[in-house]
């Protein structure tokens, strides 16, 4: 059996968690392949709102197994808190949740090192979530990291002490003082490690290989967005992992020829949290309206998201590098009520017009070129079928499908799982 893959095509916050939740009934396994607690996947159903940071978004379904893959970095404290928040739902975690032995651990000094590094940058901050993600991936590639499987060994605390010492020495090198109290942080960390040991910790690549061989259907779940990819995103304002389709192969041990459909998720407009270039960003009342109507606040950090019109140049780029086969458009309802809606179709750089995503898109050197469309007044959030869509909204969708050369199979018109329309 082949594997389907779902990922975000913008700068994150596209609504991946909701769509994974909607699609889970069609899959046997939901496997998260990269990122860590810097992700925030929001699910709404039965008048409840849930935010998941590490646990895959299929956890609320009774049949699907959920796997935290080797490409994920795990903070035991945040993970256990997530587990505790899910206790009222009587989820059988021993049956429904597995963790790769090869996933790396975030230890307390990773977070301290992250904060020291970001603070030392001053105005050049990249907008880190300060969750210790970057330093953990640095230790992973530097071959110093601690993996989940290590906590099953009797000498794992020696590894911990060596890594902690390395971090404390590095913190001293920053020309910036930061207050922290390890004696306060470590007891809870070690308690959470003890609880982590009780979960099903497995050789995940073997599990997935056997699952494919037996015909099980697997959905690989990405975090963040393609434009935050460490190689193909707006570097250095990116995350520390591979957020593109390639990350599913390295983050789960799945062969490239086993990936079938790639589901790409995007908003009907564009948002970004933190620093970094954003060619279509709006600094006016339209941008404020998008933010307010769309409730654009980071689910992990609570930071307000920057808002702007849809960037078709960046979206085409993401579709190309990921090999997207189907598109899913989120938050079309947020654009209701605007007299005109715009789509960026090209960039102007140094008096030259380009229609591709360049090496740099520094906001001060780039101008977005727009195509304008008539808006629509109708409230999409109450609609349950694509046949109810207003003409101008359909024109917007049809234009995108034509330009992107990829079908838009799902349109989301609200945060609840029921507000999902298949086309």
Helix ranges (DSSP H) in 253-378? 285-293, 312-322
Q: How many CB atoms lie within 10 A of CB 353?
A: 11
Q: Which of 4, 41, 53, 139 is catalytic?
A: 41
- Distance (Å, rounded) from C-alpha 54 to C-alpha 75? 9
**Residue whose C-alpha is closest to residue 151's, from 198, 183, 118, 84:** 198
- Distance (Å, rounded) from C-alpha 66 to C-alpha 78? 17
13 catalytically annotated: yes
- Distance (Å, rounded) from C-alpha 228 to C-alpha 242? 8
For residues 235 and 28, the answer to whether their CB atoms sit within 8 Å is no
- Distance (Å, rounded) from C-alpha 404 to C-alpha 398? 10
- Distance (Å, rounded) from C-alpha 20 to C-alpha 263? 10
Q: How many CB atoms lie within 10 A of CB 415?
A: 20
Q: Which residues contact 353 (CB under 8 A, 6 or more apart)?
A: 346, 347, 369
- Distance (Å, rounded) from C-alpha 342 to C-alpha 65? 41
Q: Which of 4, 13, 75, 333 is catalytic?
A: 13
Name residue, tokens 């396994």. Answer: 29
What is the greatest pairwise CA distance in the chain? 66
- Distance (Å, rounded) from C-alpha 270 to C-alpha 272? 7
41 catalytically annotated: yes
Residues marked as catalytic: 13, 41
């Amino acid at each position: 059996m082949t594997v389907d893959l779902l990922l975000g095509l913008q700068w994150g916050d596209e609504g991946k968690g909701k769509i994974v939740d909607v699609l889970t009934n069609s899959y046997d396994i939901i496997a998260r392949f990269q990122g860590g607690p810097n992700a925030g996947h929001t699910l709404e159903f039965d008048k409840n709102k849930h935010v998941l940071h590490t646990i895959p978004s299929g956890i609320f379904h009774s049949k699907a197994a959920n796997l935290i893959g080797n490409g994920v970095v795990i903070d035991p404290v945040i993970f256990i808190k997530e587990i505790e928040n899910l206790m009222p739902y009587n989820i059988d975690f021993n049956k429904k949740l597995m963790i790769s032995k090869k996933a790396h651990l975030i230890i307390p000094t990773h977070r301290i090192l992250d904060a020291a590094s970001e603070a030392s940058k001053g105005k050049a901050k990249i907008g880190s979530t300060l969750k210790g993600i970057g330093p953990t991936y640095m230790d992973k590639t530097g071959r110093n990291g601690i993996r989940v499987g290590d906590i099953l060994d009797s000498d794992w605390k020696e590894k911990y002490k060596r890594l902690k010492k390395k971090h404390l020495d590095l913190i001293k090198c920053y020309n910036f003082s930061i207050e922290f109290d390890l004696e306060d942080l470590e007891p809870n960390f070690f308690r959470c490690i003890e609880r982590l040991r009780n979960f099903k910790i497995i050789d995940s690549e073997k599990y997935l290989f056997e699952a494919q061989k037996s015909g099980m259907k697997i959905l690989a779940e990405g975090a963040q967005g393609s434009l935050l990819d460490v190689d193909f995103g707006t570097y250095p304002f990116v995350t520390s992992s591979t957020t593109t389709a390639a990350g599913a192969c390295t983050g789960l041990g799945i062969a490239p020829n086993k990936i079938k459909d790639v589901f790409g998720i995007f908003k009907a407009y564009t948002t970004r949290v933190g620093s970094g270039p954003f060619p279509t960003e709006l600094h006016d009342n339209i941008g404020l309206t998008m933010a307010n109507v769309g409730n654009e606040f980071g689910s992990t950090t609570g930071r307000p998201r920057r808002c702007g019109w849809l960037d078709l140049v960046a979206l085409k780029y993401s579709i190309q590098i990921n090999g997207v086969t189907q598109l899913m458009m989120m938050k079309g309802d947020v654009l209701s009520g605007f007299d005109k809606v715009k789509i960026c179709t090209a960039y102007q750089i140094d008096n030259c017009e380009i229609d591709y995503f360049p090496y740099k898109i520094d906001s001060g050197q780039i101008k977005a070129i727009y195509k304008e469309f008539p808006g629509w007044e109708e409230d999409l959030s109450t609609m349950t079928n694509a046949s109810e869509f207003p003409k101008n909204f359909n024109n917007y969708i049809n234009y995108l499908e034509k330009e992107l050369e990829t079908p838009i199979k799902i349109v989301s018109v609200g945060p609840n799982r029921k507000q999902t329309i298949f086309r």
